[in-house]
Amino acid sequence: MAPSAPKQITWIIGIVLGILGILGHYTKVEVLSEHNYELLLVGFLILAAGTTLKDL
């Protein structure tokens, strides 16, 4: 099983969630600060699934 490029929307969602997780770690935004690690983890998992699974 060879990795493939994820669809653009999958890539955008993963990157946005990852950036929100990083911002939540370094800023004092209540919602982002409470869930910063979860946002980063979900963003990474979406990117990993997008490269592993075809048509995601």
Is residue 2 situated within a structural domain?
no
Structural domain harbouring 48: 8-52
pTM, to two decimals: 0.86
Is residue 1 situated within a structural domain?
no
User: CA–CA separation, 11 vs 27, rounded Å?
Assistant: 24
- In one letter, which amino acid is 20? L
Number of domains forming the structure of the chain: 1
Is residue 47 situated within a structural domain?
yes
Is residue 46 situated within a structural domain?
yes
Residue 45's nearest CA partner among 34, 56, 32, 35 is 56
The DSSP result for 10-40, as a single string, is HHHHHHHHHHHHHHHHHS--HHHHHTHHHHH
Q: What is the pLDDT of residues 1-56, one digit of tens each?
A: 788 888 999 999 999 999 999 999 999 999 999 999 999 999 999 999 999 988 77
pLDDT at 46: 96
